[in-house]
Amino acid sequence: MHYINKDIYFTSDDAVFAALNVSKYDSGPSELSIPRRWDTSADFTNSVDVTFRYPTSISTSEEMSVWYNDGSWKLLGNYPATQNGSYMYVTATGLTDLGSITKEIMQWTLSEVDLPLPVVLSSFTATISAYGFIQLAWVTHTETNVSGFRIYRGTSEYLDEALLLDTFIPGTNTSQTQNYIYRDQEPLEDGTYYYWLESADFDGTSSLYGPVIITYNLNGSLNPPPIPVVTGINNVFPNPFNPATTIRFAMTTTGFVRIGIYNIRGQLVRDLAHEMRTAGYHHIQWDGKDENGNPSASGIYYVRMRTANDLSVKKIVLSK
């Protein structure tokens, strides 16, 4: 079996594809990748080898890391890169999970092996401690170049209304699993609280996780409220931003979604997503560049999210 499309190659001696969809984007998660991202959805049997192709103008490194995203970016492994003419080729072997036609699309990207890994967070939770304080806990599997962590607390799902708490938890910068605990000991009224965790790097960049939601009362009882999913853009953070921002959105039902960046004249600057997404919460990043990879000018832009039945728009500001 052979399939070649959009600078990606699928080969196998015994795999049978019932369906296969591929999209390629000249962009990717800026903290990880070369400027390429591939989205795949497939219905197949048996394993395949997947080869990614990219110009030598991007990188001529002899080894590359292959990353995949099934909710967060994870390292699949490091593979040799070979040159043929003006292109480099990297092959990941024996893959058996390329997503599904009926499930969320699997995303792929590449990075140079010696690129520092960001923090890899495996959990972020909120509970009531034995002393009646709200206790936050998170676990990291990998940390590199991490200065530390900050905590935001709010009384709504909107981060721009949240309070940055007067605390900073230093990072450990280790490849071993680390457990962190923070107790919010400020006097709180009864109510529902939203917490975000920000991972800050030494180079000035940051990543955001959350929110986690908890209902608090003076007796210390814990009653997690149901979280209604509403189709639309939840928030964009940071905003204003430079050089990148994360767009968080939700969908009540599985279906196609299109997310684009528009200037104040209503012209499309960047098409970020035009794909199938499952019901639930999602996020996507804009690196401040247009469709041609050129940095956009400072100013006001609009994020527009459109599904079959809904339209959501949010104003953002790129400030350099």
- Provide the pLDDT for residue 114: 60
User: What residues contact 85, with CB distance under 8 A and at least 6 apart?
Assistant: none
Domain ranges of the chain: 2-112, 120-216, 232-318
Residue range 21-31, pLDDT digits in tens: 788 888 766 55
- Provide the pLDDT for residue 124: 83
- CATH class for the region spanning 120-216: mainly beta
- Provide the pLDDT for residue 47: 80
- Provide the pLDDT for residue 43: 73
CB atoms within 10 A of CB 307: 19
- Provide the pLDDT for residue 222: 46
- Provide the pLDDT for residue 205: 67
Does residue 226 have a cis peptide bond before it, meaning omega lies within 30 degrees of 0?
A: no
- Provide the pLDDT for residue 151: 94
- Provide the pLDDT for residue 89: 95
User: What residues contact 106, with CB distance under 8 A and at least 6 apart?
Assistant: 39, 40, 41, 68, 69, 70, 97, 98, 99
From residue 257, give the alpha-carbon distance in Å to each of 11, 36, 307.
30, 20, 5
- Provide the pLDDT for residue 220: 46
Residue 279 tokens read as: 């019901």
What is the mean pLDDT of each successive set of 10 residues along the chain, which is 320 residues long? 77 76 75 79 79 92 84 77 94 74 70 64 79 85 79 87 89 78 86 88 73 76 53 83 87 89 88 88 90 91 88 85
CB atoms within 10 A of CB 296: 18
Residue 169: which of 193, 127, 128, 140 has the closest Cα?
Answer: 140
d(CA 97, CA 46): 10
- Provide the pLDDT for residue 90: 95
153 neighbors 195 (Cβ within 8 angstroms): yes
What's 62-131 look like in SS3? CEEEEEEECCCEEEEEEEEEEEECCEEEEEEEEECCCCCCCCCCEEEEEEECCCCCCCEEEEEEEEECCC
Q: State which CATH number among 2.60.40.4070, 3.90.1300.10, 1.10.10.10, 1.20.1250.20 fits the domain covering 232-318.
A: 2.60.40.4070
CB atoms within 10 A of CB 188: 16
Residue range 2-112 in CATH 2.60.40 = yes
What is the helix (H) or strand (E) element at residue 207, kind and residue range?
Answer: strand 206-216
d(CA 211, CA 213): 6
- Provide the pLDDT for residue 30: 57
Is it true that 120-216 and 232-318 share their CATH fold? yes
